[in-house]
Structure 1
Amino acid sequence: MPTSPGQLLVYGAYGYTARLLLPKLREQGVEFVVAGRDRARTEAIAREFDVPGRVFSLDRPAEIDRGLRGASTVLNAAGPFMYTTAPIIRACLRERVDYLDLSGEVEPLSQVADAGPAAREAGLMFLPAIGFDVVPSDCLAAHVAKRVPNARRLTFYVSASNLMSHGSGVTLAEHIGIPVHTRRDGRLEQMRMRMQMRWADFGSGYRPVVAVSWGDLVTAYRSTGIPNIEVYFEATAFRLAAVTINQYWGWMLRATAANEWFHRYADMLPEGPTREERAAERCTVVVEAEGPDGVARSRIETPEAYECTADTATRVIHRVMEGERQPGFQTPSTLFGPDFVLDCEDVTRVDL
């Protein structure tokens, strides 16, 4: 459903990931307006790119409506998305604005998916998770699902670095006490007071992996219709400790002063990893589909997660602003197809 290009508004434009993205959008000739709740930081990024800046918080609906007015598409780059998604998508419905975001959080993505019917009725497109969460994994899931007709189970294995921006650290702190989720028979379920571990081969031998919550629990279900989905991340020491603490003691830590420690830890993190740190890392995703007709596995390798996000999001935004859109809730693979990710920089896919 092509339409004419409009105006993009980037909310949270001064965040680490958005700052990686904006120069790429400029290179692609995408016109944008920057926005955020912090006046000084918003005005600084507006001066840096010589674009209009809008300052508004998400506390009052009327203020959000004024902030979005005149835009055709909003990119929500302001995490934690558990606080920013709902007010922005409600405003998008009121102001007739397409919605994109960089989220990988399960509950916010569920909110966007639930708003899909209203978006379709209004002729709007809601396309979340256009970064590393979840473009490579979503496209790979759609590809693998085609290899196993009538698949009933989808399993993701992800190997990624522990590099973390300040914003990601805040998101981690805010999710303390929220159990790991899986999808069973089409329904999201919480995995309480237990952990789930396996072994996975990312191409260089088997490594331990641990079950985590990940955006594909929402998006892959919409992309493939497969009702049983689990996501595992490589169990690095940091990640294993974080999941263990959260699964067994998170309920207590969320309600005590201990939670402040996690926020202080996030505050000590740098704005984000350096260019050299990002260049030294790679990410690997393996997806397995299983059904009555057999099992299929495929693997995809990408640049480091923040680098991958800047690239995939730029490509998505450029195509959307050029008019590629479909009303309702969309995922990267439902809009662009499972091979979309192969157009991205330094990405390889292999069937196993």
Structure 2
Amino acid sequence: MSVDKPVVVYGVSGYTGRLICEYLRELGVPFVAAGRDADRVRAVVEKIPGIETADYEVIGVENNAAALAEAFEGAQVICNTAGPFIKFGPEVVEAALQIGAHYTDTTGEQDWILAARERWGDKFAEKDLLLAPGTAHMYTTSEIAANIALEPGGYDTLDILVLWKGLPTYASTQTIFTILKADWYYLEQNKLVEWDHLSAFNVSVPGYHEQGVAVPWGGMSHPIWFQNDPRVSSVRAIGGVFDRAVMNGVADTVKMFEEQIRPLEPAAQEEALANIAASLQAGMPPRENPRINRSIDSVHASGPLGRSHVVIHGNSNYKQTGLLQAFAAFSLIQQRPQRVGFASACQAFGYRELLGQLRGFGLVSEPIVTRN
């Protein structure tokens, strides 16, 4: 069994997978929509606006490396949305490596990004392939802002804030609870330093009078992407949703985990967290409305003699993720990325190029840049 389409989107029965397919259709890229249940995948894909104009097929495949490699043979790119990735990602990465395909995913799990770098980064580089976990709004749009902030040079510290308005998907909720078990890190003088899981911050939100609440959110991707960047020695990234009540609930949940669930055996931890996650978000949230679902990516860069602040206002953060994934695939089937092996989306495709795509589809504003 093999495919004759260049791109596979795996996990299409979920919210983000559908959006990737939607933007692949708009970019004119033939694709395979795949998941463990072909009927569920087909039901989702058939609701995509204009899907009758797309060149696609639907397949079902179980989540093991051999089956995935056999099913996806012939593809050039695998876009993986089936999380939590620390649980289900290794099989998909192994399949991509086996068939010689580039790999991207939408993870927000810092422990998975670290694992991917250590286990497969060199192997992908040896095959001239890209391994780009974490290609998604909450990490890539703010990474774009960070690179713009660093443009003049002379800065060595990044302070990153990501806020969005909306509801997490089922998969995102599962991920949020999965990362509670992991260690979270920020970068301090080129070394990864562990966060206190109970950390929470009142933050100034650009463009708003009311303060927000943000948390380390599992450590975020940025300390890993910038760890070996000679421009930067320290990176802290925090994030959350605009709703203070929701974020206060997140802080309470983290505290509950530390006090009541962390002492349990691993299997009991898994069961308790899965039950909590399912009770909070068991279905698919409504399609995003750009008037409601807004995002803010704010980055301060600082150095001994200067400061730089970049803000990107946007909308529809899941649509941003869908477009970033689709453009990554669109680019990879046409040309070699700027970096192979383990790399972020900005490192692989260029932050100005990614910004142009988000601007072109009306998902973000022109960055607001302040320097002194």
How far apart in 1 are the matches of 2:335 and 2:183? 39
C-alpha deviations, 1:270-323, integer Å up to 9, x for none? 533323655412101111112223221111111121122223222222222222
Please state if 1:322 is matched with 2:334. yes
Please state if 1:347 is matched with 2:347. no
Aligned positions of 1:1-352 closer than 5 A:
7-42=6-41, 44=43, 51-59=56-64, 61-114=65-118, 115-149=120-154, 151-192=155-196, 194-205=198-209, 207-212=211-216, 213-221=219-227, 225-233=231-239, 236-247=244-255, 249-250=257-258, 252-254=260-262, 255=264, 260=271, 262-268=273-279, 269=281, 271-275=283-287, 277=289, 279-325=291-337, 326-339=339-352, 340-344=354-358, 345-348=362-365, 349-352=367-370
Q: What SS does structure 1 have at the residue aligned with 2:56? A: coil
How far apart in 2 are the matches of 1:277 and 1:95? 38
**1:74: how far off?**
0.5
Q: Does the 8 Å CA contact 2:108/2:221 hold for their aligned counterparts?
A: yes
How far apart in 1 are the matches of 2:228 and 2:167? 29
How far apart in 2 are the matches of 1:315 and 1:92? 18
Unpaired runs of at least 5, structure 1: none
How far apart in 1 are the matches of 2:45 and 2:213? 42
Deviates more, 1:161-170 or 1:99-108: 161-170
1:230/1:198 CA distance change after superposition, 3 Å: farther
How far apart in 2 are the matches of 1:223 and 1:342? 23
Structure with the bigger RCO (C-alpha within 8 Å, sep 6+) is 1
**1:265: how far off?**
4.7
* Backbone CA RMSD of aligned residues: 2.9
C-alpha deviations, 1:227-269, integer Å up to 9, x for none? 3211122572222331343256436325376865653453352
How far apart in 2 are the matches of 1:211 and 1:148? 28
For residue 67 of structure 2, what is the amino acid of its counterpart? E
1:272/1:46 CA distance change after superposition, 3 Å: closer
For residue 26 of structure 2, what is the amino acid of its counterpart? E
Q: Does the 8 Å CA contact 2:111/2:182 hold for their aligned counterparts?
A: no
How far apart in 2 are the matches of 1:310 and 1:202? 25
**1:200: how far off?**
2.5
Q: Does the 8 Å CA contact 2:177/2:274 hold for their aligned counterparts?
A: yes
Q: Does the 8 Å CA contact 2:153/2:231 hold for their aligned counterparts?
A: no
Deviates more, 1:93-102 or 1:230-239: 230-239
C-alpha deviations, 1:3-51, integer Å up to 9, x for none? xx97111111211111122122112211111222224324545777673
Q: Does the 8 Å CA contact 1:7/1:31 hold for their aligned counterparts?
A: yes
TM score, norm. by length of structure 2: 0.82
1:251/1:101 CA distance change after superposition, 3 Å: farther
C-alpha deviations, 1:92-119, integer Å up to 9, x for none? 2222111111112211222333332221
Q: Does the 8 Å CA contact 2:288/2:316 hold for their aligned counterparts?
A: no
1:23/1:201 CA distance change after superposition, 3 Å: closer
Deviates more, 1:174-183 or 1:286-295: 174-183
C-alpha deviations, 1:101-151, integer Å up to 9, x for none? 1112211222333332221111111122222132211111111122342x3
1:335/1:177 CA distance change after superposition, 3 Å: closer
Q: What SS does structure 2 have at the residue aligned with 1:129? A: coil
How far apart in 2 are the matches of 1:308 and 1:327? 23
Unpaired runs of at least 5, structure 2: none
How far apart in 2 are the matches of 1:262 and 1:136? 29
How far apart in 1 are the matches of 2:240 and 2:11? 30
For residue 364 of structure 2, what is the amino acid of its counterpart? V
How far apart in 2 are the matches of 1:321 and 1:169? 32
